[in-house]
Amino acid sequence: MTLALIAGGGELPSALIDALDTRPLICALDGADPQVPVDLRFRLEAVGSFLTQLRRLGVTRICMAGGVTRPRLEWRRFDVVTIRLLPTILRALAKGDDGALRAFIAVLERRGFTVVAAHDIVPDLLPPEGVVTTIQPSDVHRMDALVGDACLHDMGQRDSGQACIVRQGVVVDQEDRAGTDAMITRHTGSGGILFKGPKPGQDRRADLPVIGPGTARHIIAAGLDGIVIDAGGVMVLNRAEVVRTLNDAGRFLWVRKAPL
């Protein structure tokens, strides 16, 4: 066994496992609630010992998939191996979620592991560029996408989310810690787009945005016209069902190449 999957919430871990020929070692942070059976749990305060254990089990590659809420550290529970990593952990915690993720990846690499992206394991998770539904975005939607671009850039600077809702050139809501589905559910009105993409400069080996059939159903119920995602920057789970659901409701999915 060479691959360990650090699984978080959502459907992505299950989709990865189903697509692989060999089941990976499934690991989860203590307190996480993945929708897949977990072989090995670990605490952040003992991550050094956890990585040593992975090495003993023959793991050389690690993939992180699914949402995780950063746990509150209990300083008295740090083990001897992890204390050596304490300066890195403290610097990471001071940099927000994106900085913490980068620091964790750096720790894994320094310990000799190769960090692989979910879409490297299952390339079909990234859809091809273009409008993949029958319905096409209008000129207004294309202008809304430019507004969405600017909004996500601003959100990325604040490390605050990866999605927004834009209608008639106005950002009417932005993703927060509650997530994309919660943002869509609280939306009122009709028309507009869900715009979703990675943070500027994001390490795309982890925390790449995801949409799926549930997202399609939510935007239909919320009265939005369609979904715009960054080409190469957002994974789509069960793409055939997403497209079918949107087509049946007269909505669109535009996999958009970001302007230079």
Give the DSSP per-residue string, 200-226: TT--TTS---EE-HHHHHHHHHTT--E
| Exposure letters 175-206 (e unless 16+ CB within 10 A, then b) | beeebbbebbeebeeeebbbbbbbbeebbbbb
Domains by residue range for the chain, with CATH: 3-121 (3.40.50.20), 126-256 (3.40.140.80)
Per-residue pLDDT tens listing for the chain (260 residues): 699 999 998 899 999 999 999 999 999 988 888 999 999 999 888 888 999 999 999 999 999 998 877 667 777 777 877 777 777 766 666 666 666 777 788 888 888 999 999 999 999 999 999 999 999 999 999 999 999 999 999 998 887 789 999 999 999 999 998 889 999 999 888 899 999 999 887 778 877 899 999 999 999 999 999 999 999 999 999 999 999 999 999 999 999 997 76
CA distances 220 to 185, 240, 251, Å, are: 10, 17, 8
Residue 252's H or E segment, with its range, is strand 252-256
Closest CA to 57 of 139, 2, 113, 136: 2
**Coil, helix or strand at residue 4:** strand
Instruction: Report DSSP state, residue 121.
Output: H
Q: What span, in angstroms and rounded, lies between the C-alpha atoms of 148 and 108?
A: 33
**Which residues does 126 contact at the CB level (< 8 Å), separation at least 6?**
119, 231, 232, 234, 235, 236
Q: Residue 110 has what pLDDT? A: 85
